[in-house]
Chain A
Amino acid sequence: DQQVKQNSPSLSVQEGRISILNCDYTNSMFDYFLWYKKYPAEGPTFLISISSIKDKNEDGRFTVFLNKSAKHLSLHIVPSQPGDSAVYFCAPGRDGNNRKLIWGLGTSLAVNP
């Protein structure tokens, strides 16, 4: 039973346009949500995060939106660049002493020049 679902395994976008990656979760107890990016043959790298008490966090070209009532978050990349081509993972976690993250299966983004 997957607690975190990234329903689009892949996404293709033109350079300069917006990329929107979605993530749905079932556990209303998650306190924070992280997005990671992963290139082939490398480990995931942290991209951006959001606390459950916020509905938006922005960092340069990357913005994450959180809709707690819908248990849905999205990552917007504007404008998209070819270097953004990677697999993106949504990884929420709970506050307290447990630092366990629950990972989605990822969305492979291809940004075409």
Chain B
Amino acid sequence: DAGVIQSPRHEVTEMGQEVTLRCKPISGHDYLFWYRQTMMRGLELLIYFNNNVPIDDSGMPEDRFSAKMPNASFSTLKIQPSEPRDSAVYFCASSPDPGVWIGDEQFFGPGTRLTVL
């Protein structure tokens, strides 16, 4: 299995531009998570989906951020318009249905490093 795939790996853009980050979860996983990592705040959950349906988006910072999961094998995180404070590493993770043990691990992609100038 290829693992969680994220693209692009690096993105440099100018303030005000639209940014789209992409994620392909591991096949068969029911859950997909979007995280943001910064030095000051560490890893923060932005939103997660179960069977393509958004379950918890309380971590989405503001209306400039939106996430979609049109099918089980693809998700996007969009920032429009982007601002310098959005500069961070964005991770996508997926996991199977946890079954009895809710503490099942999440499998992370390599991340997208976003720089907004």
Contact = CB atoms under 8 A, between A and B. Distances in A.
A31 B43 contact: no
Given A99-B48, A100-B48, A100-B56, A46 B42 contact: no
Interface residues of B, number: 25
A92 to B, nearest CB: 9
Nearest to B39: A105
Contacts, number: 59
24 contacts: A32-B102, A32-B103, A33-B103, A34-B105, A42-B110, A43-B93, A43-B111, A44-B43, A44-B108, A46-B105, A46-B107, A49-B105, A89-B43, A93-B103, A96-B102, A97-B55, A98-B55, A99-B31, A99-B50, A99-B55, A99-B95, A100-B48, A101-B106, A104-B42
